Structure 1
Amino acid sequence: MSTTSLNQEPDRGMARDRRREELREFLRSRRERLTPSAVGLPEAGRRRTPGLRREEVAVLAGVGVSWYTWLEQGRDIKVSDDVLDAVARALLLDDIERAHLYRLAGLNPPQQQAAPSIPASPQMRRLLDTWAPRPGYIRDRHWNFTAVNDAARAVFGYGDTDHNCLTSFFTNTRLRVSHQQWDEIAPAVAAGFRADAARYPDDPEFDRIAGDLAQVSPEFAELWARHDAAEHSTAVKAVDHPDVGVMVFEATLFPLPDHPGHHLILHNPVPGTETSERLERLLRSQPGGGTPPMN
């Protein structure tokens, strides 16, 4: 066995012990914050310790008292999704606490259900307006635009017929011509959509969007047939705008926890590329221009 392998074993053991300790403390703290009346149990006189007893949690979860005790002690036992869900319900855990319990037990949390496409909230629209004069937009799980600020429309050429980020990337002629790395980025875009589609295998809308796009874009059809999948939270976009020249942006994708499946994509000018100056000049030339300068 190599020295590297020998060094890694203690690290894994320490991580496992720490996770078990965190599991013990988490379950104990969640149990102690509840009262019998909060979970529909009768009060049974004075208690030496606050909260529920382990036996009561076991009964509420429908598991054996010994098994739950071992779980709370962080012992090396097998757990399943169904049992963890039962424990989460018994302890009245919210979605974030339930996912934390899964991780502490050594399992991947269930994929959170995506919210249906909804219009951007007034708060998110104000955020996009505040982000101006930088480009920004919000897309749902199918990559449909739910909000696009004026800077994104001016820079990327999004118009009234642009409803879907994927479709626009492959069919918007102005975007394609101006995007300096279109050929290099196109495979990653198709792979990103396939990765998102895999998150929702029961949702036929992804196949419909991809199928319709493949009918009008041979490039997308070829890339989609590769079955590549990739996830990206950042990207660099260089746009050669016909009015002001090349602008280079760092794009960052932020998930919106209140609306699973929706993402906020913000673009920031890359320093040293004169993008900020060109962007301000571009927006001043637009109808109703006169945007505030970037900080």
Structure 2
Amino acid sequence: MSTAGPLGEYLRARRELVGPGAVGLPAHGRRRVPGLRREELALLAGISADYYLRLEQGRDRNPSAQVLEALARALLLDAEATAHLRRLGGHAPADRPARRPERVPVGIRQLVGSWAETPAFVHGRHLDVLFANPMATALTPIYRVGVNLLREVFLGQRAPALYPAPESVAASAVAGLRAQVGAEVNDPRLTELVDELTAGSELFRRLWARHDVTVRAGGGLRMLHHPQVGDLELRYEKLTISGTTQSLVVYHAEPGSPSARSLARLGAAVDAPETDG
């Protein structure tokens, strides 16, 4: 961690991603650094250049909520990124519960385990797989208990074969991790994971330095490749498990589609009894 601290690092990273033209400033002339100059951002936010410099260098780490909101507007941050900036500046809710070991609720385990034809798994705040049903593990061994999804995406050998667009998946995973941990960037587990990925992956270093923040609850479409049943076009739903820092991820196919038939074949293989020889 640099002396700038999490807030200063975030401000600098986001400042370098905003071009002058995006905020109505002339883009002509030679610029030594990408994005906005410090004094330009300070002007847009309505604060002094000296005060902004202190924030970015970590010499002032307690800005008011009004200053943070002004900086968020000047940096063109969306709602999620603005909330992240507020947390880094010390304006998160004060009644956050203490961290406890992540355990998947019994009801969720029973529910997910009962889905014989639907791949589903649960991951924790650091993207460790905490529970997975047999269909999820059959879809890919990446979805098995004990696997860290970030480590697999950036350092493993299976993710590029599974995901046709691995860089998009990687960017989403990093932005989701930032959203999950919020301002708690000194969490020892997070520090260990980030250090490992930084040392082993240039792509991770680049994406982590962007400080993108995305709350990944919701859903979408994902193209996967399975070595036995071929290409799969699956929808996924990502649901936050109430009262936890965990997420439930469920895959399903359009009814009657080729992917649904392929998923059914995969399910039949999972259910088939083992035979000798």
2:203 corresponds to 1:219: yes
User: Out of 232, 238, 241, which is 1:247 matched to?
Assistant: 232
Q: Is the 8 A contact 2:121 2:143 kept in 1?
A: no
1:188 CA displacement: 1.7
**What are the within-5 Å matches in structure 2 for residues 26-41 of structure 1?**
none
Change in Cα spacing, 1:139 to 1:111, as seen in structure 2 (3 Å) is farther
1:114 CA displacement: 6.2
Change in Cα spacing, 1:116 to 1:108, as seen in structure 2 (3 Å) is closer
Change in Cα spacing, 1:108 to 1:170, as seen in structure 2 (3 Å) is closer
1:175 CA displacement: 2.8
Structure 1 counterpart of 2:187, which letter?
A: D
1:150 CA displacement: 1.2
Q: Structure 2: how far apart are the matches of 1:161 and 1:262?
A: 14
Q: Structure 2: how far apart are the matches of 1:112 and 1:270?
A: 39
SS of 1:173 mapped into structure 2: coil
Change in Cα spacing, 1:239 to 1:114, as seen in structure 2 (3 Å) is farther
SS of 1:131 mapped into structure 2: coil
Q: Structure 1: how far apart are the matches of 2:247 and 2:95?
A: 16
Q: Structure 2: how far apart are the matches of 1:112 and 1:122?
A: 23
2:243 corresponds to 1:237: no
2:163 corresponds to 1:167: no
2:168 corresponds to 1:184: yes
2:133 corresponds to 1:149: yes
| CA deviation map 1:246-268 (0-9, x unaligned) | 1122222211223x211211122
Q: Structure 2: how far apart are the matches of 1:227 and 1:108?
A: 18
Q: Structure 2: how far apart are the matches of 1:156 and 1:273?
A: 20
Structure 2 counterpart of 1:289, which letter?
A: A
TM-score, L = length of structure 2: 0.58
1:199 CA displacement: 4.7
SS of 2:114 mapped into structure 1: helix
Change in Cα spacing, 1:110 to 1:236, as seen in structure 2 (3 Å) is farther
SS of 1:168 mapped into structure 2: helix
User: Out of 118, 132, 147, which is 2:102 matched to?
Assistant: 118
SS of 1:225 mapped into structure 2: helix
SS of 1:137 mapped into structure 2: strand
Equivalenced residues, count = 182
Structure 2 counterpart of 1:197, which letter?
A: V
- Runs of 4 or more above 6 Å deviation: none
User: Out of 241, 247, 253, which is 1:256 matched to?
Assistant: 241
- Percent identical residues: 23
Aligned to 2:272: 289
Q: Is the 8 A contact 1:157 1:175 kept in 2?
A: no
SS of 1:285 mapped into structure 2: helix
TM-score, L = length of structure 1: 0.54
| CA deviation map 1:25-73 (0-9, x unaligned) | xxxxxxxxxxxxxxxxxxxxxxxxxxxxxxxxxxxxxxxxxxxxxxxxx
Change in Cα spacing, 1:271 to 1:183, as seen in structure 2 (3 Å) is farther
1:272 CA displacement: 5.9
Q: Structure 2: how far apart are the matches of 1:169 and 1:111?
A: 34
Deviates more, 1:144-153 or 1:123-132: 123-132
SS of 1:231 mapped into structure 2: coil
1:227 CA displacement: 1.9
SS of 2:138 mapped into structure 1: helix
Structure 2 counterpart of 1:142, which letter?
A: H
Change in Cα spacing, 1:202 to 1:222, as seen in structure 2 (3 Å) is closer
Alignment root-mean-square deviation, CA: 2.6
Change in Cα spacing, 1:114 to 1:284, as seen in structure 2 (3 Å) is farther
Segments of 5+ residues of structure 2 without an aligned counterpart are 1-90
Q: Structure 2: how far apart are the matches of 1:160 and 1:264?
A: 13
Change in Cα spacing, 1:114 to 1:274, as seen in structure 2 (3 Å) is farther
1:239 CA displacement: 0.6
Q: Structure 1: how far apart are the matches of 2:172 and 2:142?
A: 20
Q: Is the 8 A contact 1:114 1:141 kept in 2?
A: no
